[in-house]
A and B are shown apart, each in its own frame.
Chain A
Amino acid sequence: MNDYDFHVILDGAYPNVPRADDRKSNYIDLPNDYYDSDLGQKVMEDQLEQFVSLERLGFDGAIVSEQHNGPIGLWGNPMLAGAYLAGRTNNITIGVVGPLINAYRTPVRLAEEIANLDILTRGRLLFGLPLGHGMQHHSLGVMNSAEARERYLESHDLLMAALTRPGPFEWKGEYFNVPYVNLWPRPIQKPHPPIFIPGGGSVETLRLVAKHRYTYQGTLSPRPARIANIARLREFCEEEGYEMDRRQAALVVAVHVAETDAQARLETEAHDLWQYQNFFKSPWHDNFPPGYVSEESLRRSMAGGYRSKPLTDLTYDELVENGWVVAGSPETVADTLTEYLDEMGAGVVVLAMNVGTKPKWLADKSLALFAEQVIPRMRRGGRPRWAGGELPGHETLAQFGARRSAARPAAPRPTAYVDGRLIDVETSHLEELRHADGN
């Protein structure tokens, strides 16, 4: 039995929008007049509550995503959701994928947020570094697709240097010049929290993942393309001089579990079709703003290498056949997923189990069945990764005390001049210790 990590991605889509047929796209410029405050609040609260419930169900982790200017997801900054979830959960890995690094004026600010969130989660943070899909380059006024990849790569390098290198140091790049990179606080996880890189198969992204031993989170491609992408990743890892770990390959897939195959289809079919017909429809220039992909990739895509059929035209049977959707009884889902993951050589599955229109109670039912009846079929004993383990951050004052004295015996002591004498502030309330010099 192979070993897999089980994550759930919760996009939190907003359901009540016009059909995309009548529009070029439901991204970018769908008037926010369609946004209703009560419904929006419910969507986000449902999303967060569902996230919290995943810990008790026994998933290893869950992920919230970053979206802009449209109903596909309502977190412009998923770090905020992460901060809330840090306080509502104790053990589950909290995945934040975003953040869009090109949306930041400086990657150092993102490094600070990552460190803060890693501390709030006591070392349970996992973050993603998506380039951002084409549509997102229209909405913030600071992302230019023509320079997106170059800026992304330098941002990545500066971010990782800020997180891992001792400061202060100077950064002299093409896009950023920071006289003093000197991160306070620093993340708990060493050398840094785990990183997922979402990608649609571009060579640039696969090479980045291979070079830095990150996890590739392949999205929005049919099954053969996903398998080919991971095969390519494996080659790039070999070129880097090591063998790809299965946990470097993540499969993101829509999953629905019910009592029987027929019941699963009945429950999920319309919701899945709604999503593909409405959310993944964008005209060419929105998907590929200038420079977003190279001229060579454009040529390949236009020749039909991108998607053989528009996502909006896929039937439910095609969604299932091409591995966009895995649905059925617990047994069917376990068998299908196992075969799919093993065919890819992937060790991580990221389950999309609640598209925007699916009622929370129905998604909850599917999640519960997955936890109770699918995970045990795929993982002996069913224990989540975190069960019985110790978090990277301390959880009690006693642990703090034990770690503190062991790790930093020679930390500088805080001192102050009182009446002309330098004294140790920490013991200043004890008369007999007031005379001791600080160091």
Chain B
Amino acid sequence: MTDQKSPSEDRWPHYTAPEFVDVAGTSVAYRRRGTGDALLFLHGLGPTRIWQPMLEQLAGIHDVIAPEHPGFGDSPLPRWIRTFDDLVLHYDAFLDLMGVDRVHLVGHGLGGWAAADLALHYPRRFASVTLIAPSGVRLVDTPSIDVFRMLDHEFRSALFNGRDERYAEFLDQEGAPEDAIRALAEGIPTARLSWNPRYDIRLDHRLARISAPSLVLAVEDDRVVPTSSAARFAELIPHSTLHTIPGRPGEPSSHAVALEQPDVVAAAIAAHTTAS
């Protein structure tokens, strides 16, 4: 960090200063808190550079490790990270550097796709797998949602099903235009990974390789990843459980369910990891 400010905890709400580790020549920003069995959290699209309340709750029972993907948050994007395969090797190396062997794995959205890929490449490394509203499978009969054609305010709205103004604490960081530029910059790794195709048809066959106990958390009205994506993951992963997180009354749960209802999501994850 070359920032002039000390790595204070108050740059914006939920900000904590990241630590950095060099993974095969690229710097990775990560946050790590808590004690217990290690848990790797892979974030999805949405706010970066925060320690979200759900992770704080999980840190009560786990050693929670939350890196930022290459090109997201404070992690730079090296040339050689182009596909999910590259990301899988990246995270296997990252976990070695964290000094952990067997871990619980949690991924959200695009991070759910990465987590599924990681778990099927290294099926023996993970004590459990939890995917929250994951993207990545082909849904032949469901129209796709084109996040690449959403303006910044449209994406914020899609994340929270129109309730984004309530969650400005997560979304507003440096203000305009920096926040919008950051969102566009994070679009670059997103596009490298998923511009075309926008799914990995190999997952249809490969997800069967995941051997850890798996929980797929769905939401009621996902406007970032088609709602039915979670159910398709659950169908393809053997020994998996599908659970839908209900929203608050009159407010169907959104893609940003972990930000809207951190207690509920953390409890669902904890129940799964402790049982696994």
Whether B187 is near chain A, meaning CB under 8 Å from some CB there, is yes
Whether B184 contacts A146 by the Cβ 8 Å rule is no
The answer to whether A141 touches B196 (Cβ under 8 A) is yes
Nearest CB of chain A from residue B160's CB, rounded to whole Å: 19
Docked-complex contact B148 and A290, CB < 8 angstroms: yes
Question: Are the C-beta atoms of B185 and A298 separated by less than 8 Å?
Answer: yes
Measured CB to CB, the closest approach of chain B to A115, in angstroms, equals 29
B98 at the A interface (CB under 8 A): no
Stretch in A32-40, A92-100, A278-286, A367-375 with 4+ CB within 8 Å of B: A278-286
Question: Are A288 and B184 neighbours in the complex by a CB distance under 8 Å?
Answer: yes
Q: Is the CB of A295 within 8 A of B185?
A: yes
Interface residue? A138 (CB, 8 A): yes
Q: Is the CB of A147 within 8 A of B180?
A: no
User: Would A146 and B185 be within 8 Å (CB), given that A285-B151, A302-B177 are in contact?
Assistant: no
Q: Which residues of A contact B189 (CB under 8 A)?
A: 146
A-B contact count (CB 8 A): 59
What is the predominant secondary structure among interface residues of chain B facing chain A?
helix
A299 at the interface (CB under 8 A from B): yes
A144→B196 contact, CB < 8 A: yes
A289 near B: Cβ within 8 Å? yes
Closest chain-A Cβ to B31's Cβ sits at a distance in Å of: 23
Q: Chain A residues with Cβ under 8 A from B196's Cβ?
A: 141-144
- Cβ contact within 8 Å between B149 and A138: yes
Q: Which residues of B contact A65 (CB under 8 A)?
A: none
Within 8 A of B (CB), among A137-155: 137-138, 141-147
B191 touches A144 (CB 8 A): yes
Bound-state CA distance A289–B148 (Å) is 7
> What mask results when residues 247 to 288 of chain A are scored 1 for a CB within 8 Å of chain B, else 0?
000000000000000000000000000000000000111101
Tell me whether A147 and B192 are in contact in the complex, defined as CB-CB below 8 angstroms, given that A283-B151, A285-B148, A285-B149 are known contacts.
Answer: yes
Interface flag for B195 (CB, 8 Å): yes
Q: Is the CB of B187 within 8 A of A298?
A: no
CA distance A303 to B178 in the complex (A): 10
Known: A302-B177, A302-B180, A302-B181. A146 touches B150 (CB 8 A): no
Which residues 96-115 of A sit at the B interface, judged by CB distance below 8 A? none
Band of interface residues on B:
10 to 19
For residue B184, which residue of chain A has the nearest CB? A298
* A291 CB within 8 Å of chain B: yes
Assess whether B214 is interfacial by the CB under 8 Å rule.
Answer: no
Q: Are A145 and B181 in contact (CB under 8 A)?
A: no
Residue of A nearest to B147 (CB): A285
B190 CB–A CB distance under 8 Å: yes
- Give every chain B residue within 8 A of A143 (Cβ-Cβ): 196
CB within 8 A of A284: which of B151, B185, B188, B190? B151
Measured CB to CB, the nearest residue on chain A to B146 is A138
Known: A285-B150, A285-B151. Is A146-B188 also a contact (CB below 8 A)?
yes
**Bound form: Cα–Cα A142–B196 in Å:** 7
Of A146, A299, A303, which is within 8 A of B191 by CB? A146
135-161 of chain B: CB within 8 A of chain A: 148-151
CB pair B181–A291 under 8 Å, yes or no, is no
Complex alpha-carbon distance, A303 and B191, angstroms: 24
B-chain residues with CB within 8 Å of residue A144 when the two chains form the complex:
191-192, 195-196
In the assembly, what is the distance between CA of A283 and CA of B82, in Å?
27
CB distance from A316 to the nearest CB of B (A): 29
Shortest Cβ distance from A283 into B: residue = B151
Chain B residue nearest to A146 in the complex (CB): B191
- Bound-state CA distance A285–B150 (Å) is 7
Contact A146 B192 (CB under 8 A): yes
Known contacts A141-B196, A142-B196, A302-B181: does B191 contact A290 (CB below 8 Å)? Answer: yes
Inside 8 A of A283's CB, which chain B residues have their CB? 149, 151
**Chain B proximity of A124: nearest CB distance (Å):** 36
Residue of B nearest to A28 (CB): B149
Q: Hey, which chain A residues are within 8 Å of B177, CB to CB?
A: 299, 302-303
A145 to B184, CA, bound (A): 12
Q: What separation, in Å, do the CA atoms of A28 and B148 have in the docked complex?
A: 13
Task: Tell me the complex Cα distance, A138–B187, Å.
Answer: 14
In angstroms, Cα B185 to Cα A256, docked, is 41
Residues in B with CB closer than 8 Å to A141 are 196-197
Using A146-B191, A295-B181, A298-B184 as known contacts, list a sample of 12 further A-B pairs with CB atoms less than 8 Å apart, ordered by residue number in A: A137-B195, A143-B196, A146-B187, A147-B192, A285-B148, A285-B151, A286-B149, A290-B184, A291-B188, A298-B181, A299-B181, A302-B177
Q: Which B positions have Cβ atoms within 8 angstroms of A? A: 82, 148-151, 177, 180-181, 184-185, 187-192, 195-197
Q: Which residues of A contact B (CB under 8 A)?
A: 28, 137-138, 141-147, 283-286, 288-291, 295, 298-299, 302-303
